[in-house]
Structure 1
């Protein structure tokens, strides 16, 4: 637990020390990710015979579209305490509307209990770039195979 607290403190100290520089050099056109939208994650994931299913909601827009619509992708990776992991993606529509999303991935050796979800939302722009935003959540995997 102390190691985690030390790392958090170091990360916060590094962020504070770099914040002025970061703000000065990260406009969206210089490689910084624009705010593409928001992603919510349901805290319960279901484990079944077809794999593990994670749900949530999202709202996103294409960064430079004349009409705010376009394709996007939500990708997730679930990692359990034992180190077992799985991942999956789903195509999403980015028009500013809040919608639901569902990813079902192979469960391999994933079992019930706490897992960490690491995810991304990516939305291609008109220039062919694919900016993305990251999100993290803790979920509880319920059910059994």
Structure 2
């Protein structure tokens, strides 16, 4: 078999494998996750001797049209360039009203400076599913330690 035929056969096999994988995954993502709400993140997190607090605002709704309000959760993880991290969560009420949120977590090895915030808003529906909306931000940790 020539080099050209071998490369063509490999290309066709790879294309077929990618097409099959894409077709197998597509039904699992049909429709995508519902838009549950909006979360804002303050520009600063407050550091005390052993705790760090971060807040913002949120607006969310339950993904079921028949349910007017419901519980939800905002969870965050703060990660410093040094690798130090902490996480926490807070329960929220999802009824379409804009409210404030604050998560207070152990500071661990976090120090003053920039951190990345990776967060999620999750809202269970009546069927027991818990879809998530993800959010990311960069904030400055201020305060003293």
**TM-score range relative to shorter protein:** 0.7 to 0.9
Cross-structure match for 1:80: 80
| Structural RMSD (CA) | 1.9
Cross-structure match for 1:128: 128
Gaps of 5+ in 1: 1-17
Contact 2:50 2:108 in 1 (8 A): no
Q: TM-score, normalised by structure 2?
A: 0.79
Q: TM-score, normalised by structure 1?
A: 0.79
C-alpha distance after superposition, 1:3-52 (max 9, x if no partner): xxxxxxxxxxxxxxx9xx97xx531xxxx310000000001000012410
Distance of 2:81 and 2:90 partners within structure 1: 25
Does the alignment pair 1:141 with 2:141? yes
Q: What aligned pairs does 1:33-72 form with structure 2 within 5 A after superposition?
A: 33-72=33-72
Contact 1:51 1:107 in 2 (8 A): yes
Distance of 1:141 and 1:110 partners within structure 2: 8
Q: Which one has the largest radius of gyration?
A: 2
C-alpha distance after superposition, 1:55-96 (max 9, x if no partner): 100000000042420000000000011110000000000000
Q: For 2:68, what is the secondary structure of its paired residue? A: coil
Contact 2:63 2:125 in 1 (8 A): yes
Q: How many residues align?
A: 122
Distance of 1:75 and 1:65 partners within structure 2: 24
Gaps of 5+ in 2: 1-21
Q: For 2:104, what is the secondary structure of its paired residue? A: strand
Runs of 4 or more, structure 1, over 4 Å off, are: none
Deviates more, 1:43-52 or 1:133-142: 43-52
Contact 1:65 1:126 in 2 (8 A): no
Distance of 1:142 and 1:38 partners within structure 2: 25
